[in-house]
């Protein structure tokens, strides 16, 4: 069977069973599964399969980074996200808004994960890609989308990588920002090219080319001569591919440091890996575990490498006391991949390590926002005792 025929068959199957699965609880915002098809125009309601193409079109209009992606690519990516979430119990689906003409004019993505709070299971919902067109913003659609989301059955809500406008909306809904989880770092891998990046954006193209080539030549020459800040030595530790079972092993090794921790299984990790690998805009995805001579896991990292550009870290975690090994191995790996800088979000456990002392740290570059009716959970988050990385949060897929 051809790939296109398989795609059409899966799409028809999704449409046929949209919102229906034996024994499944219906999404929190729906009275009956049929409400997905009959909702009144203009209201905020859960995403249905028939909405997905409209969301893809809205994404292209809203986000400049999505402008170069085809409608078909965006549609299929949203389908994958939707297909994973709609079978969760309870199903907390993404939300959409339609205007008076029935056109999708607002969207809020939702991804759910079960966490353990000590021994209690709690439902955590992450919202992402809040978007609305100009007329929808005038009707306060973004605020209404957040309001509907926060009224769901989850114990804890958060938004990752949020801008200042979203933070203001979130505050109005009774949420708050977590400053300790909103610190981002930048590590220069090729210092000359790193320092030239802001300048290149402000000069004419001919001068850009000259400066770019000069920066690359300086970095290469200094690296060959092993000038300390221009050269990174290969670590002596063993690196192996990070497969789902090994990631679960690594997570178990750091579990005791946190009171609130994600409850993953192999399937959930495999699904997330597939989504991240399919995203090509940020470069090539690497999943690496760091092992000692006795084959014990010391840490791991998941990041995108992009030659001559920024390498974005999704998750970088070490067992207690091995943060320096993690930093040295990750920066060396990104350096060998041709990256100019390494960028990621600082974990509270990394404060005081090279992730903060040998990097440029920027609080509030983007915000991690939280909301919960439970003060104990908010206290845990503000105290840095929740395991939360970009792997659990920020989704850049559409």
Per residue in 9-36, pLDDT (tens digit) is: 444 433 433 444 434 443 444 333 334 4
Asked whether residue 239 falls in the same domain as residue 348, the answer is yes
Asked whether residue 93 falls in the same domain as residue 166, the answer is yes
The answer to whether residue 40 is domain-embedded is yes
The answer to whether residue 84 is domain-embedded is yes
What DSSP designation does 65 have? G
Asked whether residue 236 falls in the same domain as residue 173, the answer is no
Q: Structural domain tally of the chain?
A: 2
Q: Residue 323: pLDDT band by 50, 70, 90 thresholds?
A: very high
Share of the chain above pLDDT 90, in %: 56
**Whole-angstrom Cα distance, residue 132 to residue 153?**
24
Question: pLDDT by residue (tens digit) across 259-286?
Answer: 999 999 999 899 899 989 988 888 999 9
Asked whether residue 164 falls in the same domain as residue 253, the answer is no
The gap from C-alpha 273 to its chain's centroid, in whole angstroms, comes to 12
Asked whether residue 245 falls in the same domain as residue 352, the answer is yes
The answer to whether residue 66 is domain-embedded is yes
Asked whether residue 171 falls in the same domain as residue 276, the answer is no
Domain that holds residue 329: 184-189+232-363
The answer to whether residue 195 is domain-embedded is no
Asked whether residue 134 falls in the same domain as residue 49, the answer is yes
The answer to whether residue 39 is domain-embedded is yes
What is the per-residue pLDDT for 176? Answer: 95
Q: Residue 40: pLDDT band by 50, 70, 90 thresholds?
A: low
Share of the chain above pLDDT 70, in %: 85
pLDDT at 342 over 60: yes
pLDDT at 327 over 70: yes
Greater model confidence, 12 or 210:
210
Question: pLDDT by residue (tens digit) across 129-166?
Answer: 899 999 999 999 999 999 999 999 999 999 988 889 88
Q: Which residues contact 279 (CB under 8 A, 6 or more apart)?
A: 77, 285, 396, 397
Asked whether residue 146 falls in the same domain as residue 42, the answer is yes
Taking the model in full, what pTM does it have?
A: 0.84
> At 154, which CATH number?
3.40.630.30
Concatenated DSSP letters for 319-358?
-TT-HHHHHHHHHHHHHHTT-SEEEEEPPGGGTTSHHHHS
Asked whether residue 18 falls in the same domain as residue 154, the answer is yes
Asked whether residue 31 falls in the same domain as residue 148, the answer is yes
The answer to whether residue 170 is domain-embedded is yes
The answer to whether residue 368 is domain-embedded is no
| Cis peptide, bond prior to residue 90, ω within 30 of zero | yes
Asked whether residue 12 falls in the same domain as residue 149, the answer is yes
The gap from C-alpha 174 to its chain's centroid, in whole angstroms, comes to 23
Asked whether residue 52 falls in the same domain as residue 123, the answer is yes
Question: pLDDT by residue (tens digit) across 234-262?
Answer: 888 999 999 999 999 999 999 999 999 99
What is the per-residue pLDDT for 275? Answer: 87
The answer to whether residue 203 is domain-embedded is no
């Amino acid at each position: 069977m051809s790939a296109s025929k398989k795609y059409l068959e899966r799409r028809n199957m999704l449409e046929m069973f949209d919102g229906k699965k034996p024994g499944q609880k219906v999404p929190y915002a729906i009275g009956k599964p049929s409400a997905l098809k009959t909702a009144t125009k203009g209201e905020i309601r859960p995403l249905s399969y028939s909405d997905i193409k409209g969301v893809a079109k809205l994404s292209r209009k809203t986000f400049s980074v999505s402008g170069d992606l085809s409608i078909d690519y965006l549609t299929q990516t949203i389908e994958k996200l939707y297909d994973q979430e709609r079978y969760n119990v309870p199903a907390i689906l993404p939300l959409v808004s339609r205007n008076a003409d029935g056109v999708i004019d607002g969207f809020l993505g939702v991804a759910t994960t079960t966490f353990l709070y000590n021994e209690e299971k709690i439902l955590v919902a992450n919202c992402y890609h809040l978007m609305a067109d100009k007329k929808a913003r005038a009707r306060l659609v973004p605020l209404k989308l957040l309001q509907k989301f926060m009224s769901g059955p989850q114990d804890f809500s958060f938004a990752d990588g949020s801008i200042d406008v979203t933070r203001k909306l979130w505050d109005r809904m009774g949420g708050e920002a977590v400053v300790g989880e909103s610190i981002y770092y930048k590590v220069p891998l090729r210092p000359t090219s790193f320092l030239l990046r802001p300048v290149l954006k402000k000069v004419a193209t001919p001068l850009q080319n000259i400066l770019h080539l000069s920066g690359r030549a300086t970095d290469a020459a200094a690296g060959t001569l092993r000038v300390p800040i221009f050269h990174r030595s290969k670590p002596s530790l063993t690196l192996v591919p990070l497969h789902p079972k090994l990631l679960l092993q690594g997570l178990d090794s750091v579990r005791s440091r946190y009171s609130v921790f994600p409850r993953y299984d192999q399937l959930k990790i495999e699904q997330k890996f597939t989504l991240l690998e399919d995203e090509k805009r940020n470069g090539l995805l690497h999943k690496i575990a760091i092992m000692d001579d006795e084959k014990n896991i010391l840490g791991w990292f998941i990041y995108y490498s992009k030659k001559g550009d920024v390498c974005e870290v999704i998750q970088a975690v070490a067992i207690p006391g091995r943060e320096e090994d993690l930093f040295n191995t990750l920066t060396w790996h990104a350096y060998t991949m041709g990256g100019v800088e390494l960028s990621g979000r600082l974990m509270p456990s990394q404060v005081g390590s090279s992730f903060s002392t040998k990097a440029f740290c920027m609080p509030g570059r983007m915000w991690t926002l939280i909301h919960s009716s439970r003060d104990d959970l908010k206290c845990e988050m503000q105290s840095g005792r929740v395991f939360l990385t970009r792997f659990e949060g920020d989704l850049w897929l559409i």
